[in-house]
Structure 1
Amino acid sequence: MTQHQGAFLNQHHGAFLNKDGTTHFALWAPDARTVALELGKGDLVHNLYKDHDGWYKATIECAAGTAYRYLINNELHVPDPAARRQLDDVHGWSCVVDQAYPWKTVTWHGRPWHEAIIYELHVGALGGFSKVEEMLPTLAELGITAIELMPLNEFPGERNWGYDGVLLFAPESSYGTPEQLKSLIDSAHALDMMVIVDVVYNHFGPDGNYLGQYAKHFFRTDIKTGWGDAIDFRQQPVRDFFIENALMWILDYRVDGLRIDAAHAIKDKNFLLELSERVRGAVLPSRHVHLVLENEDNAASLLTNGFDAQWNDDGHNVLHHLLTNEHEGYYADFADSPTTKLARCLSEGFIYQGEYTPRGRLRGEISKDLPPTAFVLFLQNHDQVGNRAFGERLIQLADPDALKAAVGLLLLCPMIPLLFMGEEWGCKKPFLFFTDHHDDLAKAVCEGRRKEFESFAKFNDPEMREKIPNPNELATFTQSIPEQHDEEEHSEWREFYKGLIALRHTEIIPRLKGAKSAGVNILEDRALVASWMMGDGQLLRIYINLSIFPVHVTPSWNKARLIFSHQVLSAEYAQGILTPGSILVCIEEDARATEEDITIESLEEPAFALATS
């Protein structure tokens, strides 16, 4: 028996097709008096038998493609919460699926984590699985090594961010079929590109979740979240439900990693440890599988216990403040001494490592001993753009030269970089929060969305809040579709990103394993130099000036090779001046050089030439 088969046979939730033409159905419904299985949209009804652990099960002659649903207590029709495909949105019929697929990339074992250059995208906004598959050669040509798909689970309606999912095992039907998703993944692997799926294990969406009506212990009433009662991970069937979902993505769809959304909302940290252990145990040692957290708690301990990395919101937040001067909401925690905070981020990973934030929250664990690759850095993502009232992107908020300097830092520092769809060509279309709810729920979602911004000065006026797009209007979704035109500005931005990504491939990634911080020196307000001892013993230095004033520096480029610069004029460079909105990146071939050894003349021709005017 292979590891894959063993993991498959240990799954409990859902409908599994057997080789003899039968299908095994299993539903955990400890509070149901009776459960019946309806097949073929009502043509056949089979009673399921309950065991002592609250499971209702049956093995029935049933082919792939058969529609089915459950009848609870002879009155409530529900889909399978672990359906591998859904035919009629979240309230309708589920479908028996044959997971067999003729994979072309049979020898694919993934890529090491330090090679990741991640591109986050929303499948629905880009037109579905097949349309994303068509984009892959363009992303590969850009130099992307991993695509991250925002949640794929079945959600109510035809459009949604994905974080309102209720049927976590079923790929959203409006995006395409399971086979089309597998084709997308197969094509990505053929281009040497990893696929990461964003999964939501901390809550269910507000429409279509029937679990509490027949399995009330799926939730715990003593802990409330922003989405209602917390999920009760003390129950093993509940833990299995989510872990089996993770195994489905890893084994059946052959994805290369998972990004765990809002892990801080999962109060039982032992569940996270069990999840990582079971995922690691289900694949061969030769296969690269990556587990990434979003975690406001900055729980560094998880990054030494089965998880590869965490989204570094601290890094984003301080850079966003430095680029825009915004200081409301969570940016308030980064507006005081932002240069010092950026220095700590670049040298130690997290900014908050157990201290109180200005908003009064004790946050974080010590992270300075973690490698830079334990942190995913980004300037934009779905949250940080879409959670804005009008979904503006940084290109509309920041000085273009300062933004380019920050992009240089993002793509050439040793943290793992993440881009958000469209940023690489200077997309100016917003990415808004969109849903497809109806009636009272639609009204509540719209009102709740606008209420979120009451504390922001710009939205103190109720009339201004009314201008915030209604998430349920179709136009809110269509405005969020990134559309690229053959404009000169788009080409300029794309070449800028492409050049930096190429440098990361040639200069950073080969030296990244074993890299560690060699310290950060603050030059002036909003200007610093960060250094890393790379795995090959060479020293990477990044000088960046995000202020509006020139900054004088003592160059430290003895035997150095300048690999990138932006907004650094040759005459000022010779005088050791960093102009506003500038960055300079070099590698010291002999890291033992001292400040006294440094001479400007030792610089070789840079990969990106210095500006001469």
Structure 2
Amino acid sequence: MSRLWGSTLQPSGETLFRLWAPGRETVTLDVDGLALEMESAEDGWFSALVEAPAGTRYRFRIDEQAVPDPASRSQSGGVHGWSLVTPAEAYPWVHDGWRGRPWTQAVIQEVHVGVAGGFTALIGQLPRLAALGITAIELMPIGAFGGMRNWGYDGVLPFAPAESYGSPDELKALIDAAHGHGLMVLLDVVYNHFGPDGNYLSLYAPDFFHADVDTPWGGAVAVDKPQVAAFFLENALMWLNDYRFDGLRFDAVHAIGNPSFLDWLAHSIRDNVDPERHVHLILENEENDAARLGPDGFDAQWNDDFHNVLHVLLTRESSAYYGDFADGPTERLARCLEQGFIYQGEPSPNHDGRPRGTPSGHLPPFRFVSFLQNHDQIGNRALGERLTQLVDPARLRAATALLLLCPQVPLLFMGDEIGARTPFLFFTDFHDKLADAVREGRRREFAKFEAFSDEAARARIPDPNSEATFAASRPERPADAEEWEDFYRTLLRLRAELIMPRLEKARAVGATMLGEGAVQAAWRLAEGVLLTIIINIGDSVVALPSPPGRLIHEEGRAGDPASFAAWWSAP
């Protein structure tokens, strides 16, 4: 597939520079101080063919304003600095034969590269994660952003790895090393908005956005325009083909509001990657749209319903979106385990009372990614508390056992596996008026919560722009870290031995409420095996039916509060 966006080295040694600037009559290319007027073509494209080897610095000038290439593959001097010409393929891959792993083998650890110390530092953590039983790491967004630190969702140059994380070759070295340990590497990409610092697109390409369609970040991205759609397809293919990521997680696609674009994107990606590779595409989608999930489209969706109902049961919190799950949470958990989504067309109070979701009971459980925590659910708390700070350890262990032995695909957040107590906070590196706006905006956001209803309480919310906020978000090993690691290792070994090999044909048999906070659920796996679980995170003992097979794992005594049990029955 030929590229439309960015700079492309030619076989002749020259470089072709292209920019879509439909809002301008002229564009100047600045190549290491040499200014050249670019040739205009139809549909708003400008181009120039220039002698510019790999490593050449360049940028565009719109009137007197210097701007980076929006499809820059590498930056020098931050998002306001110079873009760099990069070679198409120069990295010497060691594990060149890697083809990935089937989706049914996925056990995912979500990682923030900056908090982990950068691409190179993260390589040192791979052996421990692989030995634990994790089979994939998912990197939070790594596209270049304003400043030196950001929690990932304020990127403005989505093709360029953030300089503070490392170079493009260091990122490739991380992926290469992960493949050597049998780990897939997934990447979270953001195609629904751009951050506030360093986004110049509206200066020369206002048509990149629909100004009349309002979103929390301004005008909606105009993915219905072929030039904009090509921008994101080329970005996805760069990560999958040039960097050899094993899959992508598409952030908040409900904010894109264009299912046709999503279908086109999935099919176009699959048409342009090696069919012998296992390439996985995952959605975050508040719409709970089951039609997007399947072997020819997206492999799975983050199941917020699983998290939200378990969070209500574990913490008793019911504010904001948790209010959608506060009524009858035990029955809702049973529905989630049996059918995937909880909201399948019912009115959702947190979504203005409109119906949300479509029927999902026909989908196999591995179409859903389940989690107890992730960057959103911790980082969007005012004080960034983890469940280890909010929930009794025994009840948390029971919920974790459900997460890891349920046939839905489990996702952990960095630090879960060691029982980290340190927070994961919302952090940025903005300055001046933007820093003030972000700081005060975050404190206003929590004013509706009773715990932060007065100004003194809101002042306790950490300043996102303080370096101390970023530093406090690094997971620290507590005294009982080895106990937690042993716990995770045991459960993931059971998953690898008993569940993964039989997951492809898994189907739910049913789920029932046994009491407040107590649910029994069962799935028929391949070879006719029946997996049955009973979890009780309520306050009362529940009566159990006859043990349905061989007990394979137990937390507490089955049926007691803060208990979990899983049985295995072969035909």
> Shorter-chain-normalised TM-score: which range?
over 0.9
The counterpart of 2:380, out of the listed 383, 387, 399, is 387
The CA deviation string for residues 315-343 of structure 1, in whole angstroms up to 9 with x for no partner, is: 00000111110110111000110000000
- Hey, what's the Cα distance between the residues in 2 that align with 1:392 and 1:298? 27
- Hey, what's the Cα distance between the residues in 2 that align with 1:142 and 1:361? 42
The counterpart of 2:454, out of the listed 424, 443, 461, is 461
SS of alignment partner, residue 224 of structure 1: strand
Shift of 1:224: 0.7
2:131 is the counterpart of 1:141: yes
Q: Where does residue 499 of structure 1 map in the other structure? A: 490
TM (norm. structure 2) is 0.98
2:8 is the counterpart of 1:16: yes
- Superposed, 1:125-164 pairs within 5 Å as 125-164=115-154
Q: Where does residue 327 of structure 1 map in the other structure? A: 318
Q: Where does residue 579 of structure 1 map in the other structure? A: 560
- Hey, what's the Cα distance between the residues in 2 that align with 1:163 and 1:99? 27
The counterpart of 1:32, out of the listed 20, 24, 39, is 24
Q: Where does residue 417 of structure 2 map in the other structure? A: 424
Q: Where does residue 599 of structure 1 map in the other structure? A: none
275-284 or 152-161, which deviates more: 275-284
Shift of 1:72: 1.4
SS of alignment partner, residue 125 of structure 1: helix
| Residue identity in the other structure for 1:96 | V
- Hey, what's the Cα distance between the residues in 1 that align with 2:420 and 2:215? 34
The counterpart of 1:272, out of the listed 259, 262, 269, is 262
Q: Where does residue 105 of structure 1 map in the other structure? A: 95
- Hey, what's the Cα distance between the residues in 2 that align with 1:219 and 1:285? 33
| Residue identity in the other structure for 2:505 | G
The CA deviation string for residues 266-321 of structure 1, in whole angstroms up to 9 with x for no partner, is: 12221111110111001222111100000111111111350010000000000011
2:351 is the counterpart of 1:342: no
Shift of 1:20: 2.3
2:554 is the counterpart of 1:565: yes
Q: Where does residue 61 of structure 1 map in the other structure? A: 51
- Hey, what's the Cα distance between the residues in 1 that align with 2:25 and 2:419? 57
SS of alignment partner, residue 234 of structure 2: helix
| Residue identity in the other structure for 2:559 | L
- Hey, what's the Cα distance between the residues in 1 that align with 2:213 and 2:22? 21
SS of alignment partner, residue 344 of structure 1: helix
2:204 is the counterpart of 1:214: yes
- Hey, what's the Cα distance between the residues in 1 that align with 2:138 and 2:192? 19
2:42 is the counterpart of 1:52: yes
Percent identity (aligned): 54
Shift of 1:221: 1.3
91-100 or 365-374, which deviates more: 91-100
SS of alignment partner, residue 428 of structure 1: coil
2:299 is the counterpart of 1:288: no
- Hey, what's the Cα distance between the residues in 1 that align with 2:359 and 2:339? 8
- Hey, what's the Cα distance between the residues in 1 that align with 2:96 and 2:120? 21
The CA deviation string for residues 45-89 of structure 1, in whole angstroms up to 9 with x for no partner, is: 22210001211111111111111100113x111000000001011
SS of alignment partner, residue 70 of structure 1: strand
Shift of 1:516: 0.5
Q: Where does residue 508 of structure 2 map in the other structure? A: 517
| Residue identity in the other structure for 2:526 | G
The CA deviation string for residues 144-200 of structure 1, in whole angstroms up to 9 with x for no partner, is: 110000001000000001100000000000000000000000011111110000000
2:179 is the counterpart of 1:189: yes
The CA deviation string for residues 380-406 of structure 1, in whole angstroms up to 9 with x for no partner, is: 000000000000000110111111000
| Residue identity in the other structure for 1:382 | H
Any conservation in 1 of the 2:421–2:476 contact (CA below 8 Å)? no
| Residue identity in the other structure for 1:99 | A
Q: Where does residue 439 of structure 1 map in the other structure? A: 432
| Residue identity in the other structure for 1:118 | I
| Residue identity in the other structure for 2:404 | L
2:232 is the counterpart of 1:245: no
Any conservation in 1 of the 2:547–2:567 contact (CA below 8 Å)? no
Q: Where does residue 95 of structure 1 map in the other structure? A: 84
The CA deviation string for residues 86-134 of structure 1, in whole angstroms up to 9 with x for no partner, is: 1011111111111311111111111100000000000000100000111
Which consecutive segments of 4 or more residues in structure 1 shift more than 2 A? none
Shift of 1:361: 3.2
| Residue identity in the other structure for 1:578 | G
Shift of 1:483: 2.4
Any conservation in 1 of the 2:237–2:273 contact (CA below 8 Å)? no
Shift of 1:458: 0.9
Q: Where does residue 518 of structure 2 map in the other structure? A: 527
The CA deviation string for residues 504-539 of structure 1, in whole angstroms up to 9 with x for no partner, is: 100110110110000012111111110000122110
2:73 is the counterpart of 1:84: yes
The counterpart of 1:203, out of the listed 193, 199, 224, is 193
Shift of 1:484: 2.3
Shift of 1:19: 2.7
| Residue identity in the other structure for 1:515 | A
The CA deviation string for residues 368-427 of structure 1, in whole angstroms up to 9 with x for no partner, is: 101100000000000000000000000110111111000000000100000000010010
TM (norm. structure 1) is 0.91
SS of alignment partner, residue 124 of structure 1: helix
- Superposed, 1:256-267 pairs within 5 Å as 256-267=246-257
The CA deviation string for residues 557-608 of structure 1, in whole angstroms up to 9 with x for no partner, is: 2xx221100111xxxxxxxx61110011011112xxxxxxxxxxxxxxxxxx
- Hey, what's the Cα distance between the residues in 2 that align with 1:377 and 1:91? 38
- Hey, what's the Cα distance between the residues in 1 that align with 2:536 and 2:68? 56
Q: Where does residue 609 of structure 1 map in the other structure? A: none
Q: Where does residue 478 of structure 1 map in the other structure? A: 471
- Hey, what's the Cα distance between the residues in 2 that align with 1:522 and 1:220? 47
Q: Where does residue 218 of structure 2 map in the other structure? A: 228
The CA deviation string for residues 332-361 of structure 1, in whole angstroms up to 9 with x for no partner, is: 000110000000000000000000023423
- Hey, what's the Cα distance between the residues in 1 that align with 2:141 and 2:512? 40
193-202 or 304-313, which deviates more: 304-313
- Hey, what's the Cα distance between the residues in 2 that align with 1:284 and 1:245? 17
Q: Where does residue 318 of structure 1 map in the other structure? A: 309
| Residue identity in the other structure for 1:383 | D
Q: Where does residue 570 of structure 2 map in the other structure? A: 589
- Hey, what's the Cα distance between the residues in 1 that align with 2:512 and 2:475? 39
Any conservation in 1 of the 2:439–2:463 contact (CA below 8 Å)? yes
SS of alignment partner, residue 241 of structure 1: helix
Cα RMSD after superposing both structures: 1.0
